[in-house]
Structure 1
Amino acid sequence: MRAVDLRPELLPPPVSRQRLDELSREIERIAGLVAEGSDGADEAVRAFNAMTGHAYAALDFAAYDAGRSLGEVAREAARPARPRVPDITRDELVEIVRRLLAADPESDYYVRLLDANVPHPRASDLVFHPSNGLRNASGEDIVDAALRYRPIAL
């Protein structure tokens, strides 16, 4: 299957330098509050989550620099936490998985996009931690598995 050009609403939204700087300062401030054990840390995290639409915990700020740069964390916070696109197609989902498999520089965004637009609650695990049946699977196979998922009714 050939590569599909993704429409603008499926591409990572650009983030201004000003917004990145603002969020970076706030991330560093909250990380300092958490490191100090400040009583204001929890409130600062709640305010940050309200401002960004994410659900970060204090630990996310304490360890933000363990595997990513401050800029990467700020860019993630500036973008939608669950980017839902109601009319996303199977071919578009396959292209998103292909980009994940190819380690696209915007993989963090594509993980959230995939997880938000299929019924499987952890579709990105099918890409990065596949079961034996999906090891070395194609993008099509991974998407089909994510779309086939149905929750168990209790």
Structure 2
Amino acid sequence: MQLRPELLPPRIPAARLAELADAITAIEDRLERGEDATTLIEAFNADTDTDTGYGEYDFRGYHSAQTLEEFAREAARPSFPKVPDITRDELVEIAERIVAVDPDTDFYVHLFETNTVRPAAVSVFYHPPEHLQHASVAELVDFILSYRPIAL
């Protein structure tokens, strides 16, 4: 299935990725020297327009989960790509890309989580309930979409 443009990861120019990588490296270097990086981190968060914002921990520990380029790409992407009219079929296609470990899996995980209400929805693909151990991706998406939060 072809996804519409708003469901595809935005293409980030190489110059922008390099700029963000330089900023990440500058913050990381300052932290490694034991210096205060608060101003640089605040500027980085303002520049990337992240809703949650990155903290010292993110700059100190990103190496354990991703490369510098992956961190820069993550920071360059929109924080919460909410698409109000997303369809079930589109969610199935996004889920297929997640389980296939598409090069843009991190974007698709974030997109899927943002556009479904079930907490930790993507974890269902990796740890399905016992009765769905052999379910297709489409069946798992249907299970995720069947979740209804309880109003308190």
| Deviates further, 72-81 or 133-142 | 133-142
Pick one of 70, 76, 79 that aligns with 1:78.
Answer: 76
- Contact map agreement 1:126 1:134 (CA 8 A) in 2: no
What is residue 34 of structure 2 aligned with on the other side? 37
In structure 1, C-alpha distance between the alignment counterparts of 2:128 and 2:26, rounded to whole Å: 38
What is residue 118 of structure 1 aligned with on the other side? 116
Letter in 1 for 2:146: R
In structure 1, C-alpha distance between the alignment counterparts of 2:49 and 2:138, rounded to whole Å: 31
Normalised to the residue count of structure 2, the TM-score between the two structures is: 0.89
Q: What are structure 2's unaligned runs of at least 5 residues?
A: none
Say whether 1:17 aligns with 2:14. yes
In structure 2, C-alpha distance between the alignment counterparts of 1:45 and 1:133, rounded to whole Å: 45
> Would the alpha carbon gap of residues 152 and 46 (structure 1) be closer, same or farther in structure 2, given more than 3 Å must change?
farther
Q: How many pairs are equivalent? A: 150
Letter in 1 for 2:42: R
Q: What are structure 1's unaligned runs of at least 5 residues?
A: none
In structure 2, C-alpha distance between the alignment counterparts of 1:10 and 1:89, rounded to whole Å: 11
Say whether 1:52 aligns with 2:39. no
What is residue 24 of structure 2 aligned with on the other side? 27
After superposition, give the CA deviation of every residue in 1:87-131 in whole Å (9 maximum; x if it has no partner): 110000000001111111110100000001011131111123333
- 1:134 deviates by 3.5
> Would the alpha carbon gap of residues 148 and 63 (structure 1) be closer, same or farther in structure 2, given more than 3 Å must change?
same
| Deviates further, 85-94 or 53-62 | 53-62
> Would the alpha carbon gap of residues 53 and 125 (structure 1) be closer, same or farther in structure 2, given more than 3 Å must change?
farther
After superposition, give the CA deviation of every residue in 1:69-98 in whole Å (9 maximum; x if it has no partner): 211111111111211111110000000001
Say whether 1:68 aligns with 2:66. yes
User: What's the Cα RMSD here?
Assistant: 1.6
